[in-house]
Amino acid sequence: MTMLAKQTQQKALHWLGRQLFNRDDPEAFFDPLLERINPMWVQEYTPARVEQILSETGDTKTLVLKPARRWSGFRAGQHVNICVEVDGVRRNRTFSLSSSPLLWQEQGLVTLTIKRLPGGLVTNWLHDHLQTGAVIGLGEAFGDFLIPEPARPVLFIAGGSGITPVLSQLETMAAQDYRAPVTLLYFVRTRDDVIAREKLLALKARYSALTLNIIATNESREPRYLRGQDLDAVPGIKARQVYLCGPKGLMDLAQGLLSERGFADADIHSTFFSVPSANLGNETLGGEVQFEGSQMVVGSEGDATLLEIAEAAGLTPRHGCRMGICHQCSCRKTTGTVINRLTGQTSGPGEETVQLCISVPRGPVSLDL
């Protein structure tokens, strides 16, 4: 089916859904029945069966998934939203794909490598309750943390579970015989915390362009963090495209050291596992938020986002990553001013589309929600 034909079909289905069921996804109308017959027939999301669960470290597991064939695939370095039911409530979370797209193309499989987060509702449930044979929901892939095209020298700086999108990229680079030099500086607390150790060592052995340096930060009396000399030891460092993924402390440190060495923003690519916050200074934040579709008005104070305010009021707006990446929570603001928690930028006072998960009200705000 051509892209134009597919778009035409989707528009027709949306119109039919509105006419028959007052919903945009008429195929999903029968999902409760289909889920009982065969969970892989569900239409609201792409079902993915758990084929295998592998232990990577004491707090990290890899899920080997087989999505329904209608899933559109992905590019190395991208994320997906997954949907699981925890205590009767559907929960969405965002994770990076850790496998190469070749695994999907050749075997119909993908992997997610997920670290247990202290107090994390979904990651703890996945570690403690998800079993082989279960079916979870899989969204379409998104994100621009992508391998350079054409090939250029690359430096990856990863920390902890930030290695997951890098694994996808390295596997892809090796398979494509990516000829430019590639260096990975991978920071872990101890050697026992190395995720995908065997895969990394196998990549190093067969992929001659790769230089691998695994650095344990907490195995000596003094913590061993990223240092300027680590960067200076990378051959041709000034010509490298730099990819950062890991804890905020490592990302901030790397950004500072790279800036000192004259790197331009265009040469540094980052992806986040938690929301980085801009310095909002002395901004007076909060305000009365009117949810027009729900006929509800809620007061707020401080830097709570529109998504957090809506959820505290009992609303369940659509969302995914909660980090400003996937745009699933985008909503029409009809009046009022919001501040982007990522960039610190202030919106206009009129009608525009905002992302609920990273928008903080500054005074009264009205939303089409």
Q: Which amino acid is at 242?
A: V
Domain CATH number, residue 117: 2.40.30.10
CATH of the domain at 318: 3.10.20.30
Angle at 100 between CA 96 and CA 105, to 5 degrees: 115
pTM score, whole prediction: 0.75
6, pLDDT greater than 50: no
Least confident among 262-266, 283-287, 319-323: 319-323
Last residue of a domain, one of 85, 114, 143: 143
Q: What angle, rounded to 10 degrees, do the helices at 197-206 and 163-175 form?
A: 30
Q: Which domain holds residue 193?
A: 154-271
Q: In whole angstroms, give the CA distance from residue 100 to residue 171.
A: 6
Does 62 map to a domain? yes
Supply angle C-alpha 201, 203, 205, rounded to 5: 70
Q: What is the DSSP letter of 177?
A: T
Looking at residue 93, its pLDDT comes to 86
Verify that 22 and 55 share a domain, yes or no.
no
Q: Are residues 95 and 77 in the same domain?
A: yes
In the sheet that holds 60-67, the strands lie side by side as 89-96, 79-86, 135-138, 46-57, 60-67, 110-115
- 281 found inside a domain: no
User: Based on the structure, what is the number of domains in the chain?
Assistant: 4
Is pLDDT at 273 greater than 60 in this prediction?
no
Alpha helices in the chain, H assignment, sequence order: 3-21, 31-37, 101-107, 121-129, 163-175, 197-206, 228-232, 248-260, 306-312
In a domain, 363, yes or no: yes
Question: Do residues 116 and 127 lie in contact, with contact meaning Cβ atoms separated by under 8 Å?
Answer: yes
Reported as a pLDDT band with limits 50, 70 and 90, residue 277 is low
Residues 181 and 253 in one domain: yes
Q: Please, are residues 12 and 4 in contact by the beta-carbon 8 Å criterion?
A: no
**Residues 262 and 169 both lie in one domain:** yes
Domain assignment of residue 206, yes or no = yes
Residue 64: which region, alpha, beta or left (left: phi > 0; alpha: psi -120 to 50)?
beta
Residues 159 and 242 in one domain: yes
The pLDDT value recorded for residue 92 is 81
- pLDDT for 37: 46
In a domain, 279, yes or no: no
Residue type at position 132: T
Residue after which a domain boundary falls, among 219, 246, 271: 271
Same domain, 258 and 171: yes
- Count of C-beta atoms within a 10 Å radius of residue 355: 25
Mean pLDDT for all residues in the chain: 86
Same domain for 198 and 267, yes or no, is: yes
- Which band of pLDDT confidence, cut at 50, 70 and 90, is reported for residue 268? very high
Q: Are residues 179 and 137 in the same domain?
A: no
Is 362 among the domain residues? Answer: yes
Whether residue 135 is contained in a domain is answered as yes
